[in-house]
Amino acid sequence: MFPMYYGGYGYDSTMIILIPAILLTVYAQYKVNSATKKYMRVRAHSGYTGEQAAMRILMANGLGDVKVEPIRGHLTDHYDPRTKVLRLSEDVYGRSSITSVAVAAHECGHAIQHAHGYAPLAMRSSLVPVVNFASNISWFLIIAGLMMSGSLLNIGIILFSVTVLFQIITLPVEFNASHRALIQLEELGIVDRDERRQSRSVLSAAAFTYVAAALVGILQLLRLILLQGRRRD
């Protein structure tokens, strides 16, 4: 998110609103990196790689039509409901660690959500085209609105609100996917009871990053509304 100026004299006083969220974001990123690296070095007793764990879960849930593919990058794992493809980062795809099976199971959780018509996932998916447009243009309109026209600022805030709504809807989607993942991992014998606790640590750390992102969005929206009110005074 771009830093914003007010009146040409540097950072405006509303910037202080974002400080707690920024600190939380830094901590969340540290926590997820720490947990994933720690448990990437711990081998799952079952010996399943991320790919094998994903295939086991998908088949057990009647989702044999979902493909599992490797993708480059670190923690670039995701499920694409449009093509029914589950993509796992290379470390997750080919390694038999706690992190690998936990992350793979989480993405399977999204595939299960899709198959069961989980409403928050459907709502989030329907917002993707709008969010892509809004995220590209909202800050341009906000900055232009602060410099020139209040009407542009209003439109920018409305568009930014859509991205914040998307972040909020993402929270139940991610938490539910992790809940489903932990159930599948233990019921299918991919992890034992102790490893389930370790898997939860990985997934909880990842979920925390979504909480931090949502908080940043909410506080940024509040800040914009305050700036909007200041222009009217």
**Residue 186 falls in the annotated catalytic set:** no
Boundaries of every domain in the chain: 13-232
The Cα–Cα gap between 145 and 152 comes to 5
pLDDT of residue 233: 52
The per-residue pLDDT for 2 is: 33
Which of 69, 90, 107, 187 is an active site residue?
Answer: 107
Residue indicated by tokens 């898997």: 199
Per-residue pLDDT of the chain (233 residues; tens, 9 = 90+): 333 333 433 456 777 888 888 899 999 999 999 999 999 999 999 999 999 999 999 999 999 999 999 999 988 999 999 999 999 999 999 999 999 999 999 999 999 999 999 999 999 999 999 999 998 898 888 888 888 767 888 899 999 999 999 999 999 999 999 999 999 999 999 999 889 999 999 999 999 999 999 999 999 999 888 888 766 65
Q: Is the dihedral of CA 206, 207, 208, 211 positive or negative?
A: positive
